[in-house]
Amino acid sequence: MDSTPRKKSPDTSKTMEKFDIKIERSKPCVLEEIVDLLKKFLEYCLWCLSCGCYHRPSDSKSFNGNGYEMILLDSEKKAVQNLLHYMELEASGDPVLTEEHIRAMCILTYSDNEELQKSAALCFTEVSERMSAPLTIPIARPLVELLRSRDIQVQKAATLAVSNFCMVGPGQNKDVLVTCGVIPPLVQLLHSKNVEVQCNTCGCITSLATSDSNKQLIVNNHGIRPLINLMKSTDIRVQRNAAGAILNLTHLQSYRNDLVTKGVIPVLIDILHSSDIDVQYYVAASLSNLAVNDKHRTMMTAIGHYAVIKQLVKLMSTKKERVKCQACFALRNIASDDENQIIIVQFGALPHLHNIIKSKASHKDTLGAAVACLRNLSIHRANEIPLISEKIIPDLRPILCDSSNSEAQRHAAGTLRNLAVGDHHRIIIDNDCIEAMTFVLMDIDTKLTVLAEITAALAILTDEDDVKLKILQLHNGKCFTKLVTMATLSSHSDVQYNSVGILGQLSLVALPESLKVENRKGILLYIDMFLKSPDPNFIHVALWTLVQLLKDPFFLQAFREHDIEQVITKIHQISSQPTTIDELAETALSMLRGEGSPTSSDD
């Protein structure tokens, strides 16, 4: 049995499709600021037009720069008046922008005067918070242009407006903004020294980095390095948004190498120690995605003498479910390497995993991640005794029987399979796991992926005679019939192969006459089908099972009537067949022809 390979969690290359990313945004009182600014513009215009008869506004000096009076064009005056009227009358409810309003905002946007640009940016911010209609290109284009302004206040307002349109409005808003070229100026603004601009811009990038095409644009415009730098910000809002953007980029395998090459791993491990829950979550999830690659895992564990493992193990005990879940996923992927499997156990992961597994409060995803991690840890022989000493096996039994969580189900079965490979059959049997597995086997709601794991575990455990008898007796012999059905009709090749392996083991003991008669046709069919398979593994297991069955006069007669000899003869005549198959074929033919009673090979 020691030669049977152990299996790790089969989906270590997959990442979670949904992540709870919260985007931080500055929240200024925009409307009052817009109206106040526009009124000042109009008052200044009146002063200019009245040749001084109208009282000069006290702060009008802010409208002229370098000692020269600001001169507003007629179109700019009309635009200011238009937007002031719009803001005062339509300050509440869902804003409706007419062509005249859009033209006014464009005039202010493309003005050389930064104060007018600021007015336009503030108008966009106010509209973006309440507009439910889809964004259009005529509205989006001037907003994107404002992102290129050198004025910090314009940058703040424009980035906040973009963030609002991405998060509050319809999904197509992102597509419209990208079409208008929003990503290049946003990436440039990641280099801003202003914290508010950094915060808003990272939030925009995070929102946009949810599609593959947008991720590519962000990477092509050199957005990775500034995002990594901003993860080191002392402002927690900036750090959160930057970490959220990096997480979104790690979802694509093609960009993980770029992220690692530009130094993301040391920064992630450093801020994994943050006390902020959101940062912990984003970082653990990012590390989980990166840890799919063996080279990335090596780089992670080399930093700070396994500091990443120590911290992830610590996070498994947090009260925040989503952080706990991502810590388990990250450790599961890191545990793809033999050395890491030992280190994770040495750093105390098993008690934390056990607490998650036995807790009724554990979320479905967290439970699945914890059992998947346990499965990978169970691969290493050195972890068998610590795992058994932790007394986790009894708590895997109810997980096995819970069809509402198929992920946890299959990983629980995989864990037991790994322990069975390590010759720990007895403790598995004594904890009623065979009964649990046969229950799952008979459950019509059990998924094929779970059946594949269950049958793989049973194929090893049926090496024990008492397990053979249990399977034949449980559920009034219906388990045997179910195995025959799966061997014949299952659409999952692993389920078929494992089922035949179990049936071969069961054929080593005396089968009840009723089961033989009831399943005669099914057994003939799957043996015939497997012998005609192009896969030599299927041919081998069919021949081995057939040799065991032919010892019984009932099946010897049945296979003679079925003319199985003709099928086996064709196999025997193929010179390129593996030696074990050729020997088994020769043994089967001898038995069918009544040429003595040779003992079967145990290969």
Q: What's the mean pLDDT in 541-551?
A: 94
For residue 350, give the nearest of 330, 327, 319, 377 by alpha carbon: 377
Tokens of 268: 């992630």
Residue 51: which region, alpha, beta or left (left: phi > 0; alpha: psi -120 to 50)? Answer: left
For residue 571, give the nearest of 603, 530, 601 by alpha carbon: 530
Per-residue confidence (pLDDT) for residue 26, from 0 to 100: 62
Q: Using CB atoms within 10 A of its CB, is residue 426 exposed (0-12), middle (13-18) or buried (19+)?
A: exposed
As a whole number of angstroms, the distance between CA 524 and CA 508 comes to 17
User: In sequence order, what DSSP letters do the residues of 57-79 get, joined into one string?
Assistant: PTTGGGG--TT------HHHHHH
Phi/psi at 391 (nearest 5 deg)? 60, 45
As a whole number of angstroms, the distance between CA 163 and CA 559 comes to 72
Domain positions in the chain are 73-89+96-180, 391-507, 510-596
Per-residue confidence (pLDDT) for residue 49, from 0 to 100: 40
Between 85 and 145, the more confident residue is 145
94-125 pLDDT, tens digit each: 666 778 878 877 888 888 888 888 888 888 88
Per-residue confidence (pLDDT) for residue 76, from 0 to 100: 55
Per-residue confidence (pLDDT) for residue 52, from 0 to 100: 46
- pTM, full prediction: 0.85
Place of tokens 């108008």: 123
Q: Which of 107-116, 492-501, 590-599 has the lowest mean pLDDT?
A: 590-599
Between 268 and 113, the more confident residue is 268
Q: What's the mean pLDDT in 63-77?
A: 47
Q: Which of 96-100, 112-116, 174-178, 293-297 has the lowest mean pLDDT?
A: 96-100
* HSE value, Cβ hemisphere, 13 Å, CA-based, for 159: 36
Place of tokens 């603004």: 189
In degrees, to the nearest 5, what angle opens at C-alpha 69 toward C-alphas 68 and 70?
Answer: 115
Distances (CA, A) of 404 to 373, 409, 416, 553: 19, 9, 19, 44
Query: Do the Cβ atoms of 141 and 179 come closer than 8 Å?
Result: no
In this prediction, residue 352 has a pLDDT band, given cuts at 50, 70 and 90, of very high
- Mean residue pLDDT of the chain comes to 86
Tokens of 392: 């986790």
Distances (CA, A) of 191 to 184, 186, 194: 12, 9, 9
In this prediction, residue 84 has a pLDDT band, given cuts at 50, 70 and 90, of low
Long-range pairs for 288-291: beta carbons < 8 A, 24 or more residues apart: 288/15, 288/326, 288/329, 288/330, 288/332, 288/333, 289/15, 289/247, 289/250, 289/251, 289/256, 290/250, 290/256, 290/259, 290/260, 290/264, 290/265, 291/330, 291/333, 291/334, 291/336
In degrees, to the nearest 5, what angle opens at C-alpha 315 toward C-alphas 311 and 319?
Answer: 160
Question: Which letter does DSSP use for residue 383 in this model?
Answer: G
Tokens of 367: 């439970």
Tokens of 444: 């019509």
Per-residue confidence (pLDDT) for residue 20, from 0 to 100: 67
For residue 408, give the nearest of 459, 443, 363 by alpha carbon: 363
In terms of CATH architecture, what is 391-507?
Answer: Alpha Horseshoe (1.25)
Tokens of 534: 């192009």
Query: Do the Cβ atoms of 314 and 274 come closer than 8 Å?
Result: no
3-state secondary structure of 84: helix
502-532 pLDDT, tens digit each: 999 999 998 999 999 999 999 999 999 999 9
Tokens of 95: 């804003």
Distances (CA, A) of 89 to 35, 94, 95, 335, 503: 11, 12, 10, 62, 80
Per-residue confidence (pLDDT) for residue 98, from 0 to 100: 77
Q: Which residues of 450-463 are buried (b: 16+ CB within 10 A; e: fewer)?
A: bbbbbbbbbbbbbe
Question: Which letter does DSSP use for residue 576 in this model?
Answer: T
Between 233 and 114, the more confident residue is 233
Instruction: Say how many C-beta atoms besides its own lie within 10 A of residue 574's C-beta.
Output: 11
434-475 pLDDT, tens digit each: 999 999 999 999 999 999 999 999 999 999 999 999 999 989
Q: Using CB atoms within 10 A of its CB, is residue 593 exposed (0-12), middle (13-18) or buried (19+)?
A: exposed
As a whole number of angstroms, the distance between CA 286 and CA 290 comes to 6
- Residue 581 pLDDT > 70, yes or no? yes
